[in-house]
Each structure stands twice: as structure tokens, then as C-alpha cells.
């Protein structure tokens, strides 16, 4: 019996997903657990496995389509089964058709049925690269197409889809290799198609270019590429614009003495090495500088409720527990997973959770529910050598802490002594002035700096409180 495959709902806040890539064609056999298609939310990318074995009978959406959650995407069953009952109303006009190459050949038209083909009209071609789906490029390579510049894309924002390549190949709307190379250095020109089957020849491009030059057409500026924003990029942009335009943000800067932290971390590393832990295990077993700062924030933040909160137009929602958002750089863009109840975790627990969440973010497999619910965010650009920056609040939170690169500074000289150098780490705290005054934010930052200055004693005290 035919079984539909629906678009999953990845988290309560996700309403639709975009299909990124199909791994199976209509008519392909499918084993249970095989990947049918890849789809993305505004936060992550996921693979959808086949729930049952069978044959892929129909696809109701194509690559680049935005599909509502719980909508039928495709159908698996036995060859010949009727799938019309599963076709979604919104997708019925985009249901995938069988591959033309595998379809039964149509009868050749008789001489009486033949019609005179109209003379090919000048075609406008562009030397600019055009966005195309991976399947479209793969099909073009198999068909020997050297360029996709003559194809009119019918996907989202003009993206070339596989069906566009098939239609263009059928109509002969493909430049010859020589013409394609000439188009690389040309702008948009009207080109006659005088080749066999209506293909564009190099002579057609040359004549069109010469005509344009004589008519005073501006010279080409060279190759450019328009890249459509990904869904996660659009999501980040929307959130940041809403944050900057919907709140009164102000940034305070301070720094702490990192000598005690770095010395303690060095001792921990020495102990690990004595235990003969391998280099990979050593690195994973030692909390990073960012982990130490997260630990300190989780302890200090609980005493400053206005910063551990969500701000709205008419009220502020204060949280008892500290749920730390940690900014993670990924190939798809910035993600902010949440370490829930960080104030109840020790340094090792925070460090382990941050590593696990970062790995899930970079692999694209993190559940969307772990990308929300944070009450305060920490973002670190120190690894890039950034000395100071202004972090933007992650709405609806009321504050965010930025961590900068370590700096070497000099202590004030004491009578009879030479000034000594030390390592300082600058911190940048952005807060929403609607939710608190500058003094409230300053008190938090001051206490955080003091806590980090004496991190060794504070960790020992925290462990003693936990065990007592």
C-alpha cells in the first residue's frame, strides 16, 4: 500500500521547510532508511529517510520549494499504485513527472502532421553566472552542456531547476562551447541562433557584440555573481534588524585580569598530560577560556535579574534559572544553542554541553528547540584577534556579552619596583536601556570582572557550596 512522506515539523516554532536536494528520482527503488531528500529550516539542515521500502511513485515538490510542515512531499509504494489521493492541493501543479528519457517513445509524426518550425528569434544571453540547483548542473554535464547562461530559470528567485535544463535542451537553447567561452567576457546581448537545432554559435556572439559596440553599448564590467540569501541568513538578518530598531542598545566595556585563569588552566593541562591522556583527549578534557567565562556569567547573572530576562514592549519577564545562549560559527551561519540551567552545572558540565551543542550546530543536526529559550547570550570573537566590538542583543533577551582577544598590558609601577605585564581579556556588554539603567548593567559587569579576577577561589567556593 502506498505511503506518503510528509515534511517533518522540527520544533514547535517551525512552520515550513525548504527542500534543498532530492536524492531519489521518480521510479527509483527505495530501501527503508535511505535518504529521500534534504531540507532546511531557518536554523539547520536535515536528511529525511524513507519510512518504508518500495518505489518512489511521485514527488509533489522540487528543489528550492518552501513546503509547509506536515504536508505530503512524496509517495512510496508499489509500481502502478494510484497516488492521486496523496497529492496536496498546494502542490498538485508541481507534481513530478516521470523522467522523459525513461518514458515510452512517442510515435513519429507523419508527414501530414509535421508543422513548419518558426525561424529562431534573437535570444538574449548573459555572460553572468546564474544560480542553479545541483541536479540541474549535474544534468547539464551529462547532456554535454558547457553553459547554463541561456536558460531561463523558473525556480525561486530565478534559480535554474532540472526541468528548466531539460526544456532548454529539447528546444536547442544552448550555446556551443566556443560561444559559451565568448559569453564569459560579455554582458547581456541579443544573439541570433543560427546553429544546428537553433544553437548559438560563436559567430552569433561576435556579431551581436560588434553591433552593441557600434551602438555605443557600455563595456562589460566582468563576471559577477548574484547569490540569494539562504534561509538562515535571512533569519539572522531579520532578527538583528528587529533587535536594533526595536530596542535602545548601549554597550559598556571592561576587562579582567586573566593571569589566574590561565595559570589554573595550565596546571589542569599538566595534570592531564601526566595521566598520559592523548592529545585529543587532553584538549577535550580541559575547559576553554570561553567555558570559564560562561561559568562565571552563570553564577553572577543570577544576582542581576534584569539582565537574565526577556524584554517586551510593555513588560519584562525575569527568569529564576540561567539559560545561556552560546554563539557558534557554522558554515551555514551563526547559531545560538542554549545551555539550559547553566547555573546548576559545574565548569566541566558547561564545557561538555557547549562542545556537544557546537558539534550538533556544525553538523546541521541540532533540534530547533535547542536554538531557543536562552535568557542571556555570550559571543566570543577573541579567536579572530578582535580587540573590541559591539555585540547585538539576541531578542527578546535584554543583554549580551562579547568576549574579545587577550591583550598584554602593564600594571602600574609600585615604588621601588618595575611595572609588570599581565594578560587582560576585554569584555563588551550590550544592554537594552528600556529594561534597565546603565548603573544596573555596570554593576553586573563590575561583579563579573571581580569574579573572573579571582576565578580560582570562586570555583573552589562554588564546589564547596555544591557538596555541602
Tell the residue number behind the cell numbers 560579455, with chain if given. Answer: 186
Q: Nearest 5°: phi and psi at 10?
A: -90, 80
Catalytic residue among 23, 310, 433, 462: 433
Whether omega for the bond prior to residue 389 falls within 30 degrees of 0, making it cis, is no
Note the Cα 43 to chain centre separation in Å: 6
Residues 28, 226, 369, 437: which is the catalytic one? Answer: 437
Give Cα separations from 264 to 261, 284, 453 (angstroms): 5, 16, 12
**Residue linked to cell 521547510:** 17
- In the residue annotation, 164 being an active-site residue is answered as no
DSSP-assigned beta bridge partners for residue 4 = 75
Indicate if 437 belongs to the active site: yes
Contact 334, 328 (CB under 8 A): yes
Question: CA-CA distance, 52 to 127, in Å (whole number)?
Answer: 46
Q: Which of these, 339, 301, 292, 297, lies nearest to 320 by C-alpha position? A: 301
Residues recognised as catalytic:
433, 437
Amino acid at each position: 500500500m502506498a505511503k506518503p512522506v510528509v515534511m517533518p515539523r522540527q520544533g514547535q516554532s517551525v512552520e515550513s521547510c525548504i527542500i534543498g536536494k532530492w536524492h531519489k528520482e521518480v521510479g527509483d527503488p527505495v530501501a527503508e532508511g535511505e535518504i529521500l531528500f534534504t531540507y532546511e529550516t531557518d536554523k539547520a539542515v536535515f536528511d529525511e529517510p524513507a519510512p518504508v521500502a518500495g518505489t518512489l511513485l511521485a514527488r509533489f515538490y522540487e528543489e528550492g520549494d518552501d513546503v509547509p510542515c506536515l504536508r505530503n512531499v512524496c509517495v512510496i509504494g508499489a509500481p502502478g499504485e494510484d497516488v492521486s489521493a496523496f497529492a496536496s492541493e498546494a502542490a498538485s501543479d508541481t507534481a513530478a513527472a516521470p523522467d522523459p528519457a525513461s518514458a515510452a517513445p512517442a510515435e513519429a509524426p507523419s508527414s501530414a502532421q509535421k508543422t513548419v518550425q518558426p525561424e529562431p528569434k534573437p535570444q538574449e544571453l548573459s555572460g553572468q553566472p546564474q544560480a542553479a540547483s545541483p541536479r540541474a548542473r549535474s544534468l547539464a554535464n551529462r547532456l554535454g552542456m558547457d553553459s547554463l547562461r541561456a536558460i531561463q530559470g523558473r525556480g525561486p528567485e530565478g534559480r535554474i531547476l532540472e526541468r528548466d535544463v531539460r526544456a532548454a535542451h529539447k528546444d536547442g537553447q544552448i550555446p556551443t562551447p566556443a560561444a559559451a567561452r565568448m559569453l564569459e567576457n560579455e554582458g547581456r546581448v541579443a544573439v541570433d541562433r543560427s546553429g544546428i537545432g537553433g544553437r548559438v554559435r560563436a559567430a552569433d556572439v561576435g556579431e551581436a557584440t560588434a553591433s552593441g559596440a557600434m551602438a555605443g553599448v557600455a563595456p562589460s564590467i566582468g563576471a559577477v555573481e548574484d547569490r540569494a540569501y539562504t534561509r538562515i541568513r535571512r533569519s539572522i538578518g531579520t532578527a538583528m534588524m528587529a533587535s536594533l530598531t526595536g530596542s535602545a542598545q548601549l554597550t559598556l566595556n571592561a576587562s579582567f585580569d586573566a593571569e589566574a585563569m590561565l595559570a589554573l588552566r595550565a596546571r589542569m593541562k599538566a595534570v592531564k598530560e601526566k595521566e598520559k591522556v592523548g592529545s585529543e583527549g587532553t584538549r577535550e578534557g580541559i575547559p576553554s577560556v570561553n567555558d570559564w567565562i560562561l561559568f562565571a556569567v552563570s553564577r553572577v547573572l543570577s544576582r542581576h535579574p534584569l539582565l537574565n530576562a526577556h524584554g517586551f514592549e510593555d513588560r519584562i519577564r525575569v527568569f529564576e534559572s540561567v539559560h545561556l545562549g552560546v554563539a557558534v560559527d557554522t558554515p551555514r551561519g551563526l547559531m545560538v544553542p542554549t545551555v539550559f540551567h547553566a547555573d546548576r552545572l559545574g565548569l566541566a558540565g558547561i564545557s561538555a554541553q557547549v562542545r556537544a551543542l557546537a558539534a550538533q550546530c556544525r553538523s546541521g543536526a541540532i533540534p530547533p528547540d535547542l536554538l531557543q529559550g536562552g535568557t542571556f547570550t555570550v559571543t566570543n570573537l577573541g579567536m579572530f584577534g578582535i580587540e573590541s566590538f559591539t555585540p547585538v542583543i539576541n531578542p527578546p533577551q535584554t543583554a549580551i556579552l562579547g568576549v574579545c582577544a587577550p591583550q598584554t598590558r602593564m600594571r602600574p609601577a609600585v615604588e621601588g619596583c618595575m611595572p609588570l605585564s599581565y594578560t587582560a581579556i576585554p569584555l563588551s556588554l550590550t544592554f537594552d536601556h528600556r529594561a534597565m539603567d546603565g548603573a544596573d548593567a555596570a554593576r553586573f559587569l563590575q561583579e563579573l570582572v571581580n569574579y573572573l579576577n579571582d576565578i580560582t577561589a570562586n570555583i573552589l567556593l562554588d564546589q564547596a557550596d555544591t557538596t555541602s
